[in-house]
Amino acid sequence: MTPQELANLAHLRRARDLIDREYARPLDVPTMAAGALMSPAHFSRQFKAAYSETPYNYLMTRRIERAMALLRAGSNVTDACMEVGCTSLGSFSSRFTEIVGMTPSEYRAREHHAVKAMPNCIAKQHTKPDRKGKKAARETARETLSRIEEAS
């Protein structure tokens, strides 16, 4: 890698860290790009090349991941939606279903005994949303939850 490519990766990591830290506040591509010291268009292209998803998709995946933890802890769907920075319950529910494979209400209603017993770092690995397409995500989510429930 060239020194410029390494510098770009460092800037992209800075922007990704910004998303991870500030996921609950309103973030748009120009704000994220400013954190990476890049123009919005260049930032979007470079981010997708480095992390295989757009900055917005990364942000929404982080938000859904945090919402899953809130729902497991007993928050209601509306509170979880607002807590993670989403402003539209309908858009949140659609995106949650797309990524997780079930509605937020279905996810909240499931038993999560095994996940609650795990250390947070392990639970995060086992429940991390994965964008593999709607059907694959649904199957993956159900398989993961089944495995976790069987382990408890």
Q: What is the pLDDT of residues 30-74, one digit of tens each?
A: 999 998 999 999 999 999 999 999 999 999 999 999 999 999 888
Please compute, for residue 140, the number of CA atoms within 13 A of its CA located in the half-sphere on the CB side: 16
Q: What's the full length of the chain, in residues?
A: 152
Give the per-residue pLDDT at 1. Answer: 78
pLDDT for res 149: 63
Helix (H) or strand (E) holding 101: none
> How high does pLDDT run on average in the chain?
85
pTM recorded for the entire structure? 0.75
**Side chain identity, residue 151:** A
Identity at 51, one-letter amino acid code: Y
Residue pLDDT, tens place only, 4-39: 888 889 999 999 999 999 999 999 999 999 989 999
Question: Do 43 and 29 form a contact (C-beta atoms < 8 A)?
Answer: yes
